[in-house]
Amino acid sequence: MFVLISALKSEIEPFVQKLRILSKEKMANGTLYVAQDVHLLRLGLGRERAVQSLRAYLQKYHPDFLFTIGFAGHLAPEPMESCTLFAVEKIFSTRSKTNLAVPVHPDFRFLPRASLLTSDEPVLKTEEKKKLFSRFGTMLVDMEAYDLAVTCQHYGKPFYVLKSVTDSADETTAQNFKAHYRNCAQKMFSIIQPVLFP
């Protein structure tokens, strides 16, 4: 059994809609959806809330491995097509000098690779985006993945990261996110579903 985890319900909503959900359970700040052979876990937005929910889950359940799936901002200066899905192979944090190498699941080696920065706050300004890219050099930015990876390491669980680009991590973020998130979630589902649920 494995688990797909996300911060937002909208990130896993297509899976919830398409898979046969057998039961639903509150899990700290989030919600666990139980389907046959797979769990869908919405953690809640932000580092602390997400980690609390993941710890509560891992104290009760023992999955073979975990996938975190979800949305990310595009931190690099080059233009990026919305809803591009990446397999993340390295995660940085604005709060740590240590970066984490994460494996790419064998079934998703066909995806383009990216590095990811986890930030405590949304990146909403062009100047901030430039500073973070200059300091870390990552293509993508989110708010939870680094701490989720550390938590999975603590529990000895394999952890994989797939991220879909929804916005440009600048002043247009809210507008772009609102315009693209549904399409990005659906595209993510269409790529992941045939691989994990053939």
Residue 172 maps to which CATH number? 3.40.50.1580
pLDDT at position 197, please?
Answer: 83
Instruction: Pick the range with the lowest mean pLDDT from 139-143, 171-175, 179-183.
Output: 171-175
Q: Which two tokens stand for residue 100?
A: 């984490």
Q: Model's pTM, two decimal places?
A: 0.95
Number of Cβ within 10 Å of residue 24's Cβ equals: 12
Q: Is the pLDDT of residue 4 over 90?
A: yes
SS3 31: strand
- Residue 37 or 55, more confident: 55
**By residue range, what is the domain housing residue 31?**
2-196
Sign of the alpha-carbon dihedral angle for 44, 46, 51, 52? negative
pLDDT tens, residue by residue, 106-151: 999 999 999 999 999 999 999 999 999 999 999 999 999 999 999 9
pLDDT of residue 79 exceeding 90: no
| Domain tally, the chain | 1
Residue 165 has what pLDDT?
96
